Amino acid sequence: MTGVEVPLIYVVTGIFIFLRGLYALFARPHLLHKLVAGNLAASGVFLVIAWSPQGGPPDPVAQALVLTGIVVSVAVTAYAAALLARLEQTSGKPYLEHDPDR
């Protein structure tokens, strides 16, 4: 493999992970599954952003964006998990009330 093909694998993998997470975000009715799918989609975006097309050293701006995205993703995940726990505590089910599948 040449130097260009190896980083391209990361981009293709990142796009696949993003699309899989996006599909699960809309296909799954369970809110915990939606939360994990959102994190999966974000991980795919981080993988694509961190890719360097020249195959050289990574871009420091891209590294800063990925690091900031990870911090925001962790904070949003913690907040959403707390909301999900509260919703399940009050309603007794991990689904939204207007969900037609449940």
| pLDDT at residue number 40 | 95
If phi over 0 gives left and psi between -120 and 50 gives alpha, with beta otherwise, what is residue 69?
A: alpha
* Domains observed in the chain: 5-91 (1.10.287)
| pLDDT at residue number 44 | 94
CB 29 within 8 A of CB 99: yes
CB 50 within 8 A of CB 81: no
pLDDT digits (tens, 9 = 90+) for 22-67: 999 999 888 999 999 999 999 999 998 887 777 677 788 888 999 9
Contacts of 70 (CB under 8 A, 6+ apart): 46
User: Percent of the chain having pLDDT more than 90?
Assistant: 53
Write down the pTM of the prediction. 0.80
Average pLDDT, the chain: 86
Given a cut of 80, whether residue 4 has pLDDT beyond it is no
